[in-house]
Amino acid sequence: MTEATLALAQAGDGEAFRELIDPYRRELQAHCYRILGSVQDAEDVLQEALLAAWRAIGRFDGRSLRAWLYRIATNHCLNYLRGESRRPQPAGLPDHGAGWSLSL
């Protein structure tokens, strides 16, 4: 990561931001997959995490971009998992032994 590329990204240059994150993208996706256990969920959550990183790049202190991106991705994965537990679960099939009788 060069200081010039970081400065451009912090000034709103999307190509500079892409240049910063591209070396980490595959490993971040694998990290999200290990947490979430689903390729599709990992892709979706990583997209959200990278969008959050883009929005927050102005606050990046310039130390370790990799650690910063991992923290954002991890937090998004954990928030996703917390949200999963609050979502309604699909209704199961009725229990045929509880008051149901079939007359044939």
Summarised one tens digit per residue, pLDDT across range 30-60 is 999 999 999 999 999 999 999 999 999 999 9
The verdict on domain 3-85 having CATH code 3.40.50.620 is no
Give the pLDDT score at 85.
Answer: 55
71 vs 30: CA distance, rounded Å: 14
Classify residue 54 as exposed, middle or buried by CB count within 10 Å of its CB (0-12, 13-18, 19+).
Answer: middle
90 vs 75: CA distance, rounded Å: 26
Half-sphere exposure of 40 (CA within 13 A, CB side): 0
Contact 57, 36 (CB under 8 A): no
Parts of the chain with a pLDDT under 50: none
